[in-house]
């Protein structure tokens, strides 16, 4: 089945979809994105992603080419056309192109580019990786200073994943001034007893949509939540650790820089939060 994608108002076979070579997303990473997961053919936390998208666009003075209602419609139509039961919808909006390369932003009447496509991922929720847990390495965080904006500047996170792969691990946690910021594509947590510790919000990390939901569920389940920085050494001495993201939900972490956490298997708290998250979000899916 040929995948149907969405480009600037049109639904097209992926082989016919086109964007200008002068698009600022392509030339300058001048664009933002969102990834929304699909479970049982429905969108998980669509609202959260739509709100963060507006914020990212605002922070970059970029026009929003589509209303929230229409955006929901496009997501649903792509899920329907591509028969996605479990998978992801990727959305990208860039500042577009006025037909040449220039550091200066194009004229105000330049239309942004909007692209959406689906990724079919059967078995996304029942992932073998979550049963095994992830091994992470630590790397220096050398990204720019506005990581709260979800831009398509993903070269360093991508290099981080490659460094992890080379080291026989699954992912990397980034460290700045001695403290963990976040994973290459997820927020990072440690657990001590009944207390969950994760970095406070700021410009240094992405404000994860999954993070917000998981912390809400944790508090509702009478777990303590502490939003503060932690070091790799503190993480290595913790009872357990995990990450959250829209595409992997709650992912247990079992090893950090070669040091096993607890007995080296996914922790109780992480697995419980994964279960609660999936149950609750399936109920609220649209």
Residues catalogued as catalytic: 150
210 forms part of the interface with ligand PMP (CB under 6 A): yes
Closer of 92 and 187 to ligand PMP (Cβ): 187
Angle subtended by helix axes 68-81 and 46-59, to nearest 10: 120
Say which residue the tokens 């992603």 belong to. 49
Measured distance CA(262)–CA(250) in Å, rounded: 18
82 contacts ligand PMP (rule: CB under 6 A): no
Tell me whether residue 135 or residue 211 sits nearer to ligand PMP (CB atom).
211
Element of type H or E holding 120: strand 113-120
Instruction: Name which position in 112, 185, 215, 266 contacts ligand PMP (CB under 6 A).
Output: 185
Cβ atoms 30, 21 nearer than 8 A: no
Taking CB under 6 A as the binding criterion, the range among 18-26, 96-104, 202-210, 251-259 that sits at the site for ligand PMP is: 202-210
Longest dimension (CA), the chain: 58
Q: Which is nearer to ligand PMP, 190 or 246 (CB)?
A: 246
Binding test (CB under 6 A) with ligand PMP, winner from 113, 118, 151, 186: 186
User: Of 25, 208, 252, 266, which lies in the binding site for ligand PMP, with binding defined by CB under 6 A?
Assistant: 208
User: Of these, 137, 206, 218, 269, which contacts ligand PMP (CB under 6 A)?
Assistant: 206
Figure out which of the listed residues 240, 245, 266, 271 binds ligand PMP, where binding follows CB under 6 A.
Answer: 245
Binding mask 31-70 for ligand PMP (x = CB under 6 A): ----x-----------------------------------
Which of residues 48 and 96 has its CB atom nearest to ligand PMP in the complex? Answer: 48
275: nearest Cα among 125, 152, 53: 125
Instruction: Please state, as a whole number, how many other Cβ atoms lie within 10 Å of the Cβ of residue 239.
Output: 15
62-93 as b/e: b if 16+ CB within 10 A: bebbbeeeebbebbbebbeebebebbbbbbbb
Select 75 or 97, whichever has its Cβ closest to ligand PMP: 75
- Measured from the CB of residue 62, what is the shortest distance to ligand PMP in angstroms? 18
209 touches ligand PMP by CB under 6 A = yes
Query: Is residue 210 exposed (0-12), middle (13-18) or buried (19+ Cβ within 10 Å)?
Result: buried
Neighbours of 113 (CB within 10 A): 21
Rounded Cα gap, residues 145 and 206, in angstroms: 11
By CB under 6 A, tell whether 92 contacts ligand PMP. Answer: no
Can you give the binding site for ligand PMP, defined by CB under 6 A?
35, 182, 185-187, 206, 208-211, 244-246
């Amino acid at each position: 089945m040929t995948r149907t994608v969405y480009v600037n108002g049109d639904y097209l076979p992926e082989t016919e979809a086109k964007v200008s070579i002068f698009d600022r997303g392509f030339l300058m990473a001048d664009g933002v994105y969102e990834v929304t997961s699909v479970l049982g053919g429905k969108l998980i936390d669509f609202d959260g992603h739509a709100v963060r998208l507006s914020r990212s666009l605002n922070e970059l003075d970029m026009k929003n080419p589509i209303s929230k209602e229409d955006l929901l419609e496009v997501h649903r139509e792509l899920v329907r056309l591509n028969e996605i039961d479990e998978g992801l919808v990727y959305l990208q909006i860039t500042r577009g192109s006025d037909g040449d390369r220039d550091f200066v932003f194009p004229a105000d009447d330049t239309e942004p580019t909007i692209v959406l496509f689906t990724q079919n991922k059967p078995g996304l929720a029942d992932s073998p990786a979550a049963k095994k847990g992830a091994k992470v390495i630590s790397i220096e965080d050398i990204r720019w200073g506005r990581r709260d904006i979800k831009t398509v500047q993903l070269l360093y996170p991508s290099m981080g994943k490659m460094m992890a792969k080379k080291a026989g691990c699954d992912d990397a946690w980034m460290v700045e001034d001695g403290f963990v910021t976040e994973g290459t594509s997820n927020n990072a947590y440690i657990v001590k007893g009944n207390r969950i510790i994760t970095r406070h919000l700021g410009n240094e990390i992405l404000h994860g949509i999954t993070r917000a939901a998981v912390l809400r569920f944790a508090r509702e389940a009478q777990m303590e939540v502490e939003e503060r920085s932690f070091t790799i050494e503190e993480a290595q001495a913790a009872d357990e650790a995990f990450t959250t993201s829209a595409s992997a939900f709650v992912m247990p972490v079992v090893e950090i820089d070669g040091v096993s956490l607890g007995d080296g298997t996914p922790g109780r708290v992480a697995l419980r939060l994964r279960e609660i998250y999936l149950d609750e979000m399936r109920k609220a899916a649209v």
